[in-house]
Structures are given as structure tokens and as C-alpha cells.
Amino acid sequence: MSPVAIALWVVEAALDREITLAEIAARSGVSRFHLSRAFGAATGVSLIRYARGRRLTEAARRLAAGARDILGVALDAGYGSHEAFTRAFRDQFGLSPEALRARASLAGLPAMEIITMDQNLNVPVSAPRLEEAPLMLIAGIGERYRFETNTGIPAQWTYGVCCNADGAGSFEYIAGVEVSDFNRLPADLARIRLPARRYAVFTHSGHIAGLRATVYSIWNNALPASGLEVADAPDFERYDARFDPGTGHGDVDIFIPVKS
């Protein structure tokens, strides 16, 4: 099973309690960083948001069916108090548990249903080459995304670095160029220093529309099969003369940091 398939099973088996990214990653056999990237590439949603949404959706389903004891529902969903449950419930659905019970329906609400793996995203990926990259300084346009909102990334295509991930499932994408130093750069440009390190380099060929399937297959199939251990560091895409930004066709190299 792929790390994401295992993670989906682990989440469903733990709907009665809060589960951490570290626990799910340990059960999946990969690092937290690897699992976060693999899950987002596979599902379009962050793992922690998915796990929280599943717990709350099952609790909401019980309330919509008429459960009278809201505190009991909260405790069964792994929340220690009515107040904590109500806060999380409002964040997920935009209304209180009492209001949903009176509504008696989940129709039109952002319920988090069980995700099944999209086998159409599995594509052949060649084995990576290992490359020792020198120190790089990247400056450019930076925006923060969640996996649910990363469709805005293609508007920034140049030299793309995924970095500064947080525990809530968001990350920064910097589209930029390599510079010799950060002095005299405009203040509004994002910048990141990538230390010298080893990367597993995969190549996506064809139209850029297929990049998501390539990234999915790298994180969920090719990397686990390679035996390489992913490092908790930024990964990036390099668009060079082989890629035609006018047509969207060509080769794009995908650099994944790995431990030596």
C-alpha cells in the first residue's frame, strides 16, 4: 500500500480521538514531511484538515440523525469539552452543533467524506538521478497556499520552490530566479536560501497539465520504491530551456531533498 492509502486507513480507524501527523506518518512508514507532501499531492487537501474534517463530519452525521447528548457526541469524537467541540464544529460547518441538530441535514454543508485514491493519477515515472546541488539563493514572488488552493500556482511559473510548510497544511510557493546575493533586492520580493544538499531529481515530460499526476506518482510510488529517505527541506521545480512556457510543453525537473 502507498503511504497515502495507509494514512487514509489510519484516519478512519481513529475517528474517536485526535490523531497527530507524527503518529500517522509512523504508521505509514515515511517521515511527516514526506507524508504531508504525498497526501496533498494525492488528495488536494492537507492530512490534518482531512483528519479533523472526518471526525467532525461523523459527529455531525450523528447530530443530524437526532443525537440528544451533544457532550457525548463531542467525547466520542475525541474532544474533551463541549466548548472545544463547538469551536471546532463552527470552524468546519459555520454553525453550532445545536443548530445542525435542529436542521437535521448535512445538505449544503462542507462535510468531509471518505477519500478514495484516484488511480488515474498513477503514471510511469523514471528512476531519479541523485544530484549534489550547491548553495542557491532564490528570489521572486511568494504566495502562501494550502493544498486546497494551490491551483493559483501555475500563474507564477518560473523557478518554483515549495517551502515553509506549517502544521496546518499550508506552504509557501516562491516563483523566482537564482541570484548571487540578496542585497539591493526590492523589499517586496520573497527570498529563500537553499543550503548545499543532495536531491533526488525526477523529470516530468510532456504538457504541464500532467504535472500533478507526475508529482502524485513521485511521492506515492517512485520515492517509496527508491528506498531514499526524504529530508525535511524545501523541494523545487526547475524550468529551463527544455520547457516552452508559451505552449506548456517540455521537460521540468523536480528536485526532492533526500538524506545522504
| pLDDT above 90 coverage of the chain, percent | 58
Phi, psi for 161 (deg, rounded to 5): -115, 125
User: What pLDDT shows up at residue 152?
Assistant: 47
Q: Is the model's pLDDT at 150 over the cut of 90? A: no
Average pLDDT over residues 126-148: 86
User: What's the gap between Cα 254 and its chain centre?
Assistant: 16
Please give the torsion angle defined by the CA atoms of residues 190, 183, 178 and 255, in that order, rounded to the nearest 10 degrees: -60
Tens of pLDDT, residue by residue over 163-199, are 877 656 667 888 888 999 999 888 889 999 999 999 9
Please report the domains of the chain, with CATH numbers, ordered by start residue.
3-103 (1.10.10.60), 121-257 (3.20.80.10)
User: What pLDDT shows up at residue 168?
Assistant: 60
CA 1, 216, 163, 195 dihedral sign is positive
Query: CA–CA separation, 162 vs 32, rounded Å?
Result: 15
Q: What is the pLDDT confidence band of residue 53, given thresholds at 50, 70 and 90?
A: very high
Query: CA–CA separation, 147 vs 45, rounded Å?
Result: 5
Query: CA–CA separation, 55 vs 103, rounded Å?
Result: 19
User: What pLDDT shows up at residue 64?
Assistant: 95
Average pLDDT over residues 77-88: 94
Q: Is the pLDDT higher at 9 or at 148? A: 9
Among 35, 195, 251, 228, CA closest to 129: 228
Contact 194, 135 (CB under 8 A): yes
Highest averaged pLDDT of the listed ranges 142-151, 180-189, 197-206: 197-206
Residue 13, SS3? Answer: coil
Helices (H), 65-140: 70-76, 82-93, 97-103
DSSP-assigned states of every residue in 192-247: EEE-SEEEEEEEE-SBGGGHHHHHHHIIIIIHHHHTPPBPSS-EEEE--TTEETTT
